[in-house]
Amino acid sequence: MKSGIEMGAGMEQQEKNEIRLELPEKVRQIIEQIQKHGFEAYAVGGCVRDSLLGRTPDDWDITTSAKPQEVKAIFPRTIDTGIEHGTVTVMMGKEGFEVTTYRIDGAYLDGRHPESVEFSSNLVEDLKRRDFTINAMAYNEQQGLVDVFEGIEDMQRKVIRCVGNPKERFGEDALRMMRAIRFSAQLGFEIEEETYRAVEELAPTLEKVSMERIQVELVKTLLSAHPDYVRFYQETGLFCDVLPQADVILSGKFKNPTLKLLTHAKNTSVLRYAALFYHAGPDTAKEALKRLKLDNYTVNTVSKLLLYTQKSIEENEPAVREATYTYGKEMMPLIFAHQHALLDTTEELVGIGMTTKRRHLETVERMYEDIIKRGDCISIKDLDITGNDLMEYGLTGTQIGKTLKDLLHIVLENPKLNEKETLVAMIEHLDL
């Protein structure tokens, strides 16, 4: 394969046409079928960008001069996923591929949706409406790469640049401002100066965008190779109105520690959100995550993680079992991972090894792993006695729950006592 990224900057279109990418067989078949019926068809957008970068595309989008009804007439199985905007999903076996007619968008009065869509037979008109040059390239095996906005050159320069006037592109969809930063974080590219200035100027318009769409871009940034690029959301003013909790953190004394912590946090959404809001505390984190319309699991897990991390676990197995019961077995690995990231961050910031704290954390973590491996009792359901057993013994109502809890704490101290006969024998000595 002749890679565009390996070729020199300032390439002529003829050179670009000679670039060869490997299309999935089903994508190639769709393009060929459309071409056989006298229409143009290309793979377009992110799949072309990722292929040129040597990445595996998540999905393949196809653009064509054929109108939706003409596409539907070519293929036996299609779904009208967005036919009013020119999109038909073509089914190839169990896989679906979006095929969209070249189009020219009308005015974007609401900052997201065009008031009208005009179908076109001109590929360049379609590429012209796309957000960034690296996403405005098309490819098929006959014509090679079509790149009229120097997307290849921007990839070589490692630059995120809008197609045409950045103010117009961001006026069409304010979320594109976040996408510029997200692509920058994922690819390690810089944002071109005019594009960056437009983000700063139009940042207040992000309020038009739903929080659901905002959090999708934010989490993609947090899960990128450069999670510390979230600073650009604050520095451009994008966080000012939509996520003030993060704006405060990243504009004050905790900015640098937060960015360092993000780079040391494991690459999961819970741990990266915990890193972002660590210096804000559990309550503010919960408020911010709810504002982002995140799911209850993420909201509760992050806020609990920040709360539990503040508490120290003593270096003995009964204390570790007690902590596992209190915090939950699924929380303990997250607590350890977050604490490791905190130690790594502190060591980087102060330049001193946190030997004692790290040894303590590793010892507690090892004890936890041994406890889980042995299958020690760490919850009421692990007890070798049940509520039904206690009813047979003559206990009723609240006595049952209290007794099970008292027995559990005894077993957390000494797991060997978790045998039914032993537990029954202890009941009469409990204060019921």
Mean pLDDT score, 378-383: 89
The segment(s) of the chain belonging to CATH 1.10.110.30 are 158-242
Mean pLDDT score, 371-381: 92
Mean pLDDT score, 48-55: 94
Domain 158-242 has CATH 3.90.220.20: no
| pLDDT exceeds cutoff 60 at 79 | yes
Q: How far is CA 214 from CA 7, 187, 204, 218, 422, in A?
A: 36, 19, 13, 6, 56
146: three-class secondary structure by DSSP: strand
Neighbour tally for 421: CB within 10 Å: 9
Please tell me the predicted confidence (pLDDT) of residue 3: 43
What are phi and psi for residue 246, nearest 5 degrees? -75, -35
Q: Closest Cα partner for 423 from 392, 386, 397?
A: 386
Please tell me the predicted confidence (pLDDT) of residue 30: 97
Please tell me the predicted confidence (pLDDT) of residue 163: 96
Please tell me the predicted confidence (pLDDT) of residue 268: 97
CA dist 178 and 194 (Å) reads 15
CATH code for the domain defined by 1-153: 3.30.460.10
| pLDDT exceeds cutoff 90 at 104 | no
What's the pTM? 0.89
The segment(s) of the chain belonging to CATH 3.30.460.10 are 1-153
* Least confident window among 79-93, 231-245, 270-284, 325-339: 79-93
Q: Are 415 and 377 in contact (CB under 8 A)?
A: yes
